Amino acid sequence: MIGHKRYGSREGGVEVVVTELARRMVELGHEVTCYDRSGSDVMTGCAADCRGRVIDGVHVVPVKTIDKKGLAALSSSYFATRAAIKDRPDVIHYHAEGPCVPLPLAKLAGIRTVATIHGLDWQRAKWGRLASTYIKMGERAAATKADGLVVLSKSAQSYFQDVYGRTTTFIPNGIEPKQYRPVKQIKDKWGLDAGSYLLYLGRLVPEKRPELLIEAFKELDTEKRLVIAGGGSDTSEYETSLRVAAQGDPRVLFTGFVNGEPLEELYSNCYAYVLPSDVEGMPMSLLEAMAYGRCCVTSDIPECADVLAGNGVTFDKGSADSLRAALRDLLADSDHGRVLGAAAKAHVEKTYNWDSVVERTLELYST
């Protein structure tokens, strides 16, 4: 596995997917190596563990990484590819577009390659022209050189067919069933009670549009709070701008990255989960919120609306007025929110299963 930051972390959706695939494949008797980035952990800012080790039966091998914006994925995927070629695996599985740039090297070495496109990353607002061009190179390498190409949405499937004439395999992400966790730590840490807040949980990056949510929320007449849970990803200036935008409204709470039991409590007890993104692949946080039985509000982009499948609320992408109206209606009708949350939980438990994802991925490896 190449392209993630660190095995076992929650620094992004890619890390969750790689971790689930790797450990489940090991349980089925396969040998899996994850080539981690070295450098600092995005969640904590601490230096990552640079020792080779085995976790959950997975071989974790950190590789050289230039720990600077725009260079971390580039450098780590190159050195990971070199290390993997030397190790001669049966398959190298690349994750995300940028890390696919060195994929042709593995192809030249005669190693089967599979790439998962977690989203059209060159569209993300945090990248400048040079970085976007590089990411587009990775997309082209995946589309033209990979033996297997996985996409997470029907819209991405249409994109690769239209732009590259490439047939792809649609394998959505999975999700584990979730159990409700009552309020405890979030009350002690932040004074939050069950149902007392709206929740945004994800990276603080421009394409996810948390500033749109803050704008919409500030004009709502409600005593509920808005919890912004997450941290930046090469976007410290943007994160600062969000805090400035929220100034003067004591209802807005920034928690930073959250993990473990506090994360489970935040999901379990929010009045509604809100994801106002302009660009997504297949948001793991949305699947998780639905699995906890929460009412979910998202922009109407296909990557979110298709996951909701009518079991939630959508608003017009990019419109603070549309988002505000959707939230106002939900706040006025808690019974409707509970019905949507229960429907969302039933839908994801039926539709998104990790065992099925692993089975279909392994089939692609051997096709």
Q: What is the pLDDT of residues 84-103, one digit of tens each?
A: 999 999 999 999 999 999 99
The residue with tokens 């972390």 is: 9
The secondary structure of residue 196, as a DSSP letter, is S
All residue ranges of the chain with pLDDT < 70 are 39-49, 70, 121-128, 233-235
What is the per-residue pLDDT for 128? Answer: 67
- Give the integer Cα–Cα distance in Å for 87 and 80: 10
What is the per-residue pLDDT for 313? Answer: 98
Q: Which residues contact 205 (CB under 8 A, 6 or more apart)?
A: 124, 125, 126, 232, 233, 235, 238
In sequence order, the β-bridge partners of residue 116 are: 95, 150
The secondary structure of residue 34, as a DSSP letter, is E
Burial 53-78 (b: 16+ CB within 10 A, else e): eeeeebbbbbbebbeeebebbbbbbb
The amino acid present at 296, given as its one-letter code, is C
What is the per-residue pLDDT for 129? Answer: 76
Ramachandran assignment for 39, one of left (phi > 0), alpha (psi -120 to 50 degrees), beta (any other): left
- Give the integer Cα–Cα distance in Å for 35 and 204: 25
What is the per-residue pLDDT for 132? Answer: 81
- Give the integer Cα–Cα distance in Å for 10 and 205: 16
- Give the integer Cα–Cα distance in Å for 84 and 31: 13
Burial 264-300 (b: 16+ CB within 10 A, else e): bbbbbbbbbbbbbbbbbbbbbbbbbbbbbbbbbbbbe
The amino acid present at 151, given as its one-letter code, is V
